[in-house]
Amino acid sequence: MSWSRAFLVLASVAALSCGRGDTVQRPYDNNDLQLVTSYTAKDFCSCVFVMQMSEEYCRRWTAASPAVATVKVDYKERSVQTAAALLWGEKARLVSERDGCELVE
């Protein structure tokens, strides 16, 4: 085997072994339905209470995939609650016109 070929083999083995510690699969705690309900709640709240648009407009503006099953607007509390697949849901409320909406924990 020539020196150049031996060097390429060693370099390839070294490159493959260097990345092993970094490629550990870690579970991702969030899922699509949790993320989509969170973003929809916050965006829908901003659309209705900050931008002062109609609910119909906001439903089109915040359309997501996968689709969120329910969106409930509470004008008294100035909040929006979303739900999907019985297990995931989120609530956002208006902080102020200037600061917009935030997720409620």
Question: Cα(first)–Cα(last) distance of the chain, in Å?
Answer: 64
Using CA atoms, how far residue 101 sits from 9, 34, 57, 67, 72, in Å, is 57, 18, 18, 21, 15
Provide the mean pLDDT of the chain. 79
Write out pLDDT tens, residues 66-94.
777 799 999 999 999 999 877 789 999 99
The predicted model scores a pTM of 0.68
Predicted local distance difference test score (pLDDT) of residue 99: 92
Cβ pair 41, 80 in contact under 8 A: yes
Cβ pair 85, 33 in contact under 8 A: yes
Rg (CA), the chain: 24
Predicted local distance difference test score (pLDDT) of residue 105: 77
